[in-house]
């Protein structure tokens, strides 16, 4: 995942609204989203080379996504950033995931990475550069790519910011409809910021749209199995609603026993 937009807490019934494009080498194999075994249940795509993921949602209603970033002195044999992303999805909350991410990144075992984690209670960006740090994200639109969140020097981030604020996105359907067009914007001429990236060996390989509501039945998960200017978004919402319903049932059972 190389650019991601999070609209947080602006729509009362859908506090987490996300759109993101993933860029990768075209010949690196991956699988589209599926429900992973174990607890908590997770819906995510899988990188078949390292076994990690670039974006997922767990049954507790927490989303975690990863974007690459530059690092001045990367480790010689770095651990997979996608594997850590998948491990963070095992956490019970975004706050817990932030703490685990900061602990892991402080070991200097990873190449440069940005993580975003969000649930109904909090949202965070973790910058895993030369000096890892965590930034809490408050109500509003936040966009992250290969630098810091909302970096004014990142022309791609600024392009997404402009396109997503041309109108008020006051419902999950409206956000996803607009975001699907913004993130499917065809490649720009060389030297200009672009949403879909396409070169000979590297570029946008898939795209994801997510809406997490207060009720499992309101959750939406759409996925383009390819660059979104060429591949249609398909609906994976039933799988997301299934794991969220499971999580709600388990939480109620736990509360009743307590």
**Residues in CB range of 144: below 8 A, 6 or more apart:** 3, 4, 6, 67, 114, 116, 125, 150, 157
Beta strand residue intervals within 98-244, DSSP E: 113-118, 123-128, 133-136, 140-144, 202-212, 220-224, 233-235
β-pairing verdict for 42-47 and 55-58: antiparallel
Measured CA distances, 16 to 3, 10, 21, 25, 27 (Å): 16, 9, 17, 29, 32
Q: How far apart are CA 164 and CA 182, in angstroms?
A: 7
CA angle centred on 52, ends 67 and 79, rounded to 5°: 80
Among the listed residues 78, 92, 23, 29, the one whose alpha carbon sits nearest the alpha carbon of residue 54: 23
Specify the DSSP element, H or E, that contains 5: strand 3-8
Q: What is the signed CA dihedral for 161, 188, 179, 132, rounded to 10 degrees?
A: -50
Q: How far apart are CA 95 and CA 76, in angstroms?
A: 30
**Which whole number is the average pLDDT over 183-207?**
94
Q: How far apart are CA 44 and CA 58, in angstroms?
A: 9
pLDDT at 1 over 70: no
Q: How far apart are CA 133 and CA 256, in angstroms?
A: 38
Range of the domain at 90: 3-257
**Structure pTM?**
0.97
β-pairing verdict for 3-8 and 16-25: antiparallel
The residue behind tokens 């660059």 is 227
- pLDDT-derived band at 136 (thresholds 50, 70, 90) equals very high
- pLDDT-derived band at 190 (thresholds 50, 70, 90) equals confident
How much is the mean pLDDT over the chain? 96
CATH code for position 199: 3.60.60.10
Among the listed residues 151, 53, 134, 139, the one whose alpha carbon sits nearest the alpha carbon of residue 94: 134
Among the listed residues 148, 98, 90, 103, the one whose alpha carbon sits nearest the alpha carbon of residue 121: 98
Q: What is the pLDDT of residues 28-87, one digit of tens each?
A: 999 999 999 999 999 999 999 999 999 999 999 999 999 999 999 999 999 999 999 999
**Which whole number is the average pLDDT over 9-28?**
97
Number of domains in the chain: 1
Share of the chain above pLDDT 70, in %: 100
- Six-digit token string for 86: 């998948």
Q: What is the pLDDT of residues 91-119, one digit of tens each?
A: 999 999 999 999 999 999 999 999 999 99
């Amino acid at each position: 995942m190389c650019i991601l937009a999070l609209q947080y807490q602006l729509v009362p019934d859908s506090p987490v609204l996300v759109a993101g494009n993933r860029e990768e080498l075209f010949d690196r194999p991956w699988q589209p989203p599926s429900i992973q075994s174990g607890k908590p249940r997770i819906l995510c795509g899988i990188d078949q080379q390292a076994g990690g993921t670039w974006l997922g949602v767990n049954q507790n209603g927490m989303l975690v996504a990863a974007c690459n970033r530059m690092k001045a002195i990367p480790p010689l044999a770095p651990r997979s950033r996608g594997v850590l992303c998948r491990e963070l999805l095992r956490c019970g909350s975004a706050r817990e995931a932030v703490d685990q991410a900061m602990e892991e990144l402080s070991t200097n075992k990873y190449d440069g990475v940005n993580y975003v984690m969000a649930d109904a209670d909090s949202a965070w960006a973790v910058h895993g550069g030369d000096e890892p740090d965590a930034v809490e994200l408050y109500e509003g639109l936040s966009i992250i790519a290969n630098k810091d969140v909302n970096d004014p020097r990142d022309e791609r981030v600024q392009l997404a910011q402009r396109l997503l604020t041309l109108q008020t996105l006051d419902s999950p359907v409206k956000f996803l409809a607009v975001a699907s067009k913004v993130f499917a914007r065809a490649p720009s001429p060389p030297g200009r910021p672009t949403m879909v990236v396409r070169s000979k060996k590297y570029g946008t390989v898939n795209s994801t749209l997510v809406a997490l509501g207060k009720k499992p039945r309101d959750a939406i998960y759409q996925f383009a199995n390819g660059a979104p200017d060429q591949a249609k978004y398909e609906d994976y919402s039933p799988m997301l609603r299934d794991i969220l319903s499971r999580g709600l049932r388990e939480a109620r059972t736990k509360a009743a026993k307590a």
